[in-house]
DNA sequence: GTAACTGCAAAATATTTGCATCCTT
DNA sequence: AAGGATGCAAATATTTTGCAGTTAC
């Protein structure tokens, strides 16, 4: 896994405290985070607007990918090395635990290809699985 | 397909103009709608708050199901007959057209079962496919 | 030094809640 | 008549935009 500074440099982004703090949060969390989570964890260290803009920049650069949700928030997950400039390789399954409420990227589980009705041409697929994660089964 | 009045009655909901109008919109649309779409199409006939409350009620009763998105809105799709009280049978694939921006329920395409890592116990799955729909291929 | 980034203020948007009134059964 | 549904007002929360000051390189 690349470190934060390397990630910023290779994406032509300047190294700022805000960006480093946000990247470090994601690396430490090991799970998907929403804007609100980040704002909460950074405790006013950075402006809310900066967080919005940073997340947007990271998505554009392919450092983060967006994970669909049904509760009008956007979740962000750290992309693996293969991602770059808009062309995301986030075709893995996302797992949402109904107990701890955490969302994890199951990097090793690829989204299966489904057969679509005649005329529908797929470009990208996403898959969400809800259930109980391995940490909550005890 | 059941009609609006029947749907309300079997779910123990009183028959009101607002609910009928919203249900009819969904039946006529044949695609997923967001709160904003509904508000726009009903042109101030009903209060925005009523629309919020109606959508929530319909989801609870299993008349509508929520479709995850990556743009902090919630899309709602009409459930098929099998749905009832919270226990949704919306395990079909959702298709989002990148040209016309419409989201359709592909009722005939079932979400495939994926093999999860040890310890993860699935309860429900959702799948989203982005691409070009059959109406936009000409 | 220059371009990029940030914070603040403010605007625009979206969502929730309480309450009085009206409608459905 | 009674309970549920609606509309309105207001409180909250969320997101976007502009601009001036600051920082990274």
Rounded to an integer, the average pLDDT of B21-33 is 94
CB–CB contact B120 A130 (8 Å) = no
Paired tokens of A25: 């949060």
How does pLDDT run across B86-100, given as a tens digit for each residue?
455 668 899 999 999
- Buried b / exposed e along B3-20 (16+ C-beta atoms within 10 A): ebeebbeeeeeeeeeebe
Contacts of A109 in chain B (CB under 8 A): 114-117
CB under 7 Å from strand D? A 14-17, 35-36, 48-49, 52-53, 56, 72-74; B 13-14, 16-19, 46-47, 49-50, 53-54, 57, 72
Strand C and A69 CB separated by under 7 Å: no
Protein-to-nucleotide distance from the CA of B85 to the C1' of C21, whole angstroms: 30
Best of B36, B55, B67, B70 to substitute, by most chain A Cβ atoms within 10 angstroms, is B70
Are B80 and B107 in contact, with CB atoms under 8 Å apart?
yes
Are A112 and B111 in contact, with CB atoms under 8 Å apart?
no
Determine the 3-state secondary structure of B86 from DSSP: coil
How does pLDDT run across B30-47, given as a tens digit for each residue?
899 999 999 999 988 999
Name A28's Cβ contacts closer than 8 Å, sequence gap at least 6. none
Pairwise CA distance, residues B113 & A110, whole Å: 12
CA angle B64, B53, B12 (to 5 degrees): 65
pTM of structure: 0.86
Q: What residue has token string 């909901």? A: B13
Q: Which of B17, B90, B102, B10 is nearest to B51 (CA)?
A: B17
Contacts of B132 in chain A (CB under 8 A): 120-121, 123
CB–CB contact A121 B137 (8 Å) = yes
Q: Is the pLDDT of residue A81 over 80?
A: no
Are A129 and A95 in contact, with CB atoms under 8 Å apart?
yes
């Amino acid at each position: 896994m690349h470190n934060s500074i390397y990630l910023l440099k290779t994406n032509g982004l300047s190294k700022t405290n805000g960006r480093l703090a946000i990247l470090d949060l994601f690396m430490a969390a090991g799970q998907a985070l929403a804007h609100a989570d980040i704002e909460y964890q950074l405790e006013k260290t950075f402006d809310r607007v900066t967080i919005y803009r940073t997340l947007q920049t990271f998505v554009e650069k392919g450092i983060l990918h967006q994970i669909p949700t049904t509760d009008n928030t956007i979740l962000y997950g750290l992309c693996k090395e293969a991602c770059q400039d808009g062309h995301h390789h986030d075709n893995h399954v996302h797992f949402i635990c109904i107990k701890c409420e955490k969302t994890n990227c199951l990097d090793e589980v690829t989204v299966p290809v489904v057969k679509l009705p005649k005329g529908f041409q797929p470009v990208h697929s996403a898959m969400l699985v809800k259930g109980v994660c391995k940490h909550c089964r005890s």
